[in-house]
Structure 1
Amino acid sequence: MTHDYNRPSYRPTFKDAVQIHLMLMDGWFQNRIAAHFDMNPGRVSEIKAGQLHPGSYEEALRRRKASAA
């Protein structure tokens, strides 16, 4: 079995960032989210801080409110 351990980790899209915000709202830990998406935990932190994919938090809030209605 061959593994490519040197390949870069997954680069999250805007859609992924929205999902990550929803997971954070549900109480997921950042390291578990990173493992779920096979990405560096720093990317989750950047998404949470709004540095990566700005506007994704607002979209997550909009979706959360729409699903609650």
Structure 2
Amino acid sequence: MSVIPNYNPRQPSKTLTEAEATIIIKRIASGEFLNRIAADFDVNPGRISEIKTGKRFGYLPRPFRRK
């Protein structure tokens, strides 16, 4: 069994930037699954959902309807 140096399972998700949020919004609009987008950005899928609903980065334009 190998040990990953400096690995901390309790480490919080990384903070997304406005530029990353814009990319995420476009990917959501294209129909990609939220969990796959989250994996690409190394964040929890809930973070992507918050962007989708406008809870985070709500001021950025969205090409899809919020439910």
TM-score by length of 2: 0.75
Higher-RCO chain (CA-CA 8 Å, sequence separation at least 6):
1
Aligned pair partner of 1:15 in 1, 13, 19: 19
Aligned pair partner of 1:49 in 39, 47, 53: 53
Which residue number in structure 2 is paired with residue 40 of structure 1?
44
Structure 1 consecutive aligned stretches of length 4 or more whose deviation exceeds 6 Å: none
TM-score by length of 1: 0.73
Hey, what's the Cα distance between the residues in 2 that align with 1:10 and 1:34?
Answer: 11
Consecutive unaligned residues in structure 1, runs of 5 or more: 62-69
Matched, 1:25 2:17: no
Aligned residues: 59
Consecutive unaligned residues in structure 2, runs of 5 or more: none
Q: CA deviation at 1:13?
A: 1.4
